[in-house]
Amino acid sequence: QVQLVESGGGLVQAGGSLRLSCAASGRTFSTNTMGWLRQAPGKEREFVVAISWNGGTYIADSVKGRFIISRDNAKSTVALQMNSLKPEDTAVYYCAADSLPGRLTPLTKAYDYWGQGTQVTVSA
């Protein structure tokens, strides 16, 4: 059974930082893109950032220069360092994996495996 489990969400003031982690189990994703997507109340789920198997990244303009994604294939983990957080970053953040090896895409529908989500709240 494939599982993606996120951790690290919470409440932070604007300008602060948080680090999210995601641990994968049940299969290896060492050749697959891993990503973070988010969903704010009343809004559609949106792409945030993704990292390919060899370290290539795709970053949404809204978080460019503030969010950094990394992965450790040996540990089957992916992390998201979020800096200079803004109230508009408030959302449930989901770890996700693309089932197609080698593809790097911001398309939400490409991600087939999802975690349960972790809440990030940024206060003004």
Residue in 17, 20, 16 with CA at minimum distance from that of residue 34: 20
pLDDT at 1: 86
pLDDT digits over 39-93, tens only?
Answer: 999 999 999 999 999 999 999 999 999 999 999 999 999 999 999 999 999 999 9
pLDDT at 24: 95
Mean pLDDT for 101-110 is 93
Residue in 82, 106, 75, 69 with CA at minimum distance from that of residue 19: 82
Model confidence at 28: pLDDT above 90: no
> What is the residue-wise DSSP string for 64-111?
TTTEEEEEETTTTEEEEEE-S--GGG-EEEEEEEESSTT-----GGGE
Three-class SS state of 10: strand
